[in-house]
């Protein structure tokens, strides 16, 4: 019998639409499969969170719409979109439970990195162009991806995974970290100072990136390294 790869849980978008549904871009699943793992989708309201984590060998907190500003003490802003308080509550609690499991590797992507930050008591800039200007474009109008370089500090998990100090990333966000959550270390930045990568130093493999590596893996071997590292760590757990 062929041995299966480790199982990676990926959180979904939603519930949204009419009738309400859960969704996820296929690039997340393809990135996990390409790295040799099996992807399963985790959605809000689908069960006991501890039981969900028992099923998986690793966890990805996916991207998507904005976190409800009231969750982290923010106000109203006209650019906030696709808010789901049910998803927010689900992912924040899932992140906290996962961080308490040192054997379970965790990767937060874009919104997922922001969820990590909020789960640990941090907050967000509600619209980066208003506080950082346009020297680095983090998404094209109205809401389209773009590319820019990020620089990674030395001597941290992200630098060890990528093995280089600078590379190009696919960027698709208008919010970012303002105050860091407890235990998070900023380890990557864009040229305008926006935090692009964090690690949770009380866990052996808990990392968040503000960019979308899953959108690059088909053409960029550098971005495959992040998923390969996650799956390798998950393999040792499973």
Q: Which of 216, 200, 118 is nearest to 162 (CA)?
A: 216
Angle between helices 26-34 and 221-237 (to 10 degrees): 70
Angle between helices 111-119 and 85-99 (to 10 degrees): 70
Distance CA 54, CA 183 (A): 24
- Give me the active site residues, please: 110, 212, 214
**What are the φ and ψ backbone dihedral angles of 33, each rounded to 5 degrees?**
-65, -40
Distance CA 96, CA 100 (A): 7
Q: Which two tokens stand for residue 217?
A: 């893996």
CB 234 within 8 A of CB 8: yes
Q: Which of 3, 43, 6 is nearest to 231 (CA)?
A: 6
**What are the φ and ψ backbone dihedral angles of 188, each rounded to 5 degrees?**
-145, 145
Going from the C-alpha of 3 to that of each of 26, 39, 231, the distances in angstroms are 24, 15, 15
**What DSSP state is assigned to residue 14?**
E
CB 66 within 8 A of CB 16: no
Distance CA 88, CA 42 (A): 13
């Amino acid at each position: 019998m062929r041995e299966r790869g480790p199982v990676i849980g990926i959180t979904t978008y939603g519930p949204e639409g009419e009738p309400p549904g859960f969704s996820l871009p296929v690039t997340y699943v393809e990135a996990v499969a390409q790295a040799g793992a099996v992807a399963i989708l985790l959605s809000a309201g689908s069960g006991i969170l501890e039981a969900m984590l028992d099923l998986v060998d690793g966890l990805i907190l996916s991207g998507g719409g904005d976190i409800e500003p009231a969750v982290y003490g923010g106000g109203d802003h006209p650019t906030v979109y696709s808010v789901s308080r049910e998803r927010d509550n689900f992912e924040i609690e899932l992140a906290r439970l996962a961080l308490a499991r040192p054997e379970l590797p965790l990767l937060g992507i874009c919104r997922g990195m922001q969820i990590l930050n909020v789960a640990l008591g941090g907050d967000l800039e509600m619209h980066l162009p208003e506080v950082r200007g346009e020297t680095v474009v983090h998404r094209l109008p109205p809401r389209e991806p773009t590319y820019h370089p990020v620089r990674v500090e030395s001597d941290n998990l992200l630098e060890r995974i990528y093995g280089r100090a600078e590379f190009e990333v696919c960027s698709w966000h208008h919010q970012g970290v303002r105050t860091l959550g407890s235990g998070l270390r900023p380890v990557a930045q864009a040229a305008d100072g926006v935090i692009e990568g964090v690690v949770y130093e009380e866990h052996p493999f808990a990392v968040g990136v503000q960019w979308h590596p899953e959108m690059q893996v088909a053409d960029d071997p550098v971005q495959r390294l992040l998923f390969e590292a996650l799956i390798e760590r998950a393999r040792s757990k499973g």
